[in-house]
Chain A
Amino acid sequence: MTREWIIKSILLLVIIAIITLSGLQLYEHRHFQIPIVPGPGVTKVVKLSEYSKGLKGSMADTNVFFMEGKEQGGKVLMMANTHSNEPAAILTALIFLENAVVEKGTLIIIPQFSNSASRNTKPGDGYPLYFEIQTEWGSKKFRMGNRDASPLDQWPDPDVYIHYPDKQLLSYIDTRNTNRTWPGRVNGLLMEQVTYGAMQIMRDEKVDIAVDIHGAETMFPVTNCIVAPEKSIRIATMTSLTVKAREGFENHVEPSPSGFRGLSHREIGDYSDTLPFLLEAPLPFLDQPTGPKTMDLLLDGKDPFLLSLSKKKKLFVPYDETGWPMEKRVGQHCSVILELLRQFSRKHQDRTILIRNVPRYADVVKNGVGHYYHNPEEAKKSDVYFN
Chain B
Amino acid sequence: MPVIMILYYVISAYLAGMLLWNFIREKKNINDMLLYLIVLIPFVLRLLRVK
Contacts and interface: CB of A to CB of B under 8 A. Distances in A.
Contact of B38 (A15, A26, A152, A156): A15
Nearest to A18: B41
Interface in A28-68: 30
27 contacts: A4-B28, A7-B33, A8-B33, A11-B30, A11-B34, A15-B40, A19-B41, A19-B45, A22-B45, A22-B51, A23-B45, A23-B48, A23-B50, A23-B51, A26-B45, A26-B50, A26-B51, A27-B50, A30-B50, A151-B46, A152-B46, A152-B49, A152-B51, A155-B5, A155-B8, A156-B4, A156-B8
Interface in A63-112: none
B18 interface: no
B24 to A, nearest CB: 8
Nearest to A4: B27
A12 interface: yes
B37 A15 contact: yes
A85 to B, nearest CB: 16
A152 B48 CA distance: 10
B23 to A, nearest CB: 7
A155 B40 CA distance: 19
B10 interface: no
Contacts of B34: 11
A156 B45 contact: no
Sorted nearest first, the 5 A-B pairs with minimum C-beta distance are: A15-B37, A23-B50, A26-B51, A156-B8, A27-B50
B26 to A, nearest CB: 8
A156 B5 contact: yes
Interface size class of A (residues with CB under 8 A): 10 to 19
B44 interface: yes
A201 B44 CA distance: 39
Nearest to B11: A156
Contact of A7 (B5, B8, B30, B49): B30
Contacts of B41: 15, 18-19
Interface string B3-22: 01100100000000000000
B4 A19 contact: no
Contacts of B33: 7-8, 11
Nearest to B45: A23
B25 to A, nearest CB: 11
Contacts of B38: 15
A289 to B, nearest CB: 27
A6 to B, nearest CB: 11
A178 B32 CA distance: 41
Interface string A141-164: 000000000011001100000000
A155 B45 CA distance: 14
A8 B27 CA distance: 9
Interface string A1-24: 000100110011001001100110
Interface string A116-155: 0000010000000000000000000000000000011001
A121 B30 CA distance: 32
A116 B27 CA distance: 43
Contacts of A11: 30, 33-34, 37
Contacts of A26: 45, 50-51
A16 B8 CA distance: 23
A155 B51 CA distance: 12
A12 B40 CA distance: 11
A156 B27 CA distance: 35
Given A11-B34, A12-B37, A22-B45, 8 more contacts: A4-B28, A8-B23, A11-B33, A18-B41, A23-B48, A151-B46, A152-B46, A156-B8
Contacts of A121: 51
Contacts of B44: 19
Contacts of A8: 23-24, 33
Contacts of A4: 27-28
A16 B34 CA distance: 12
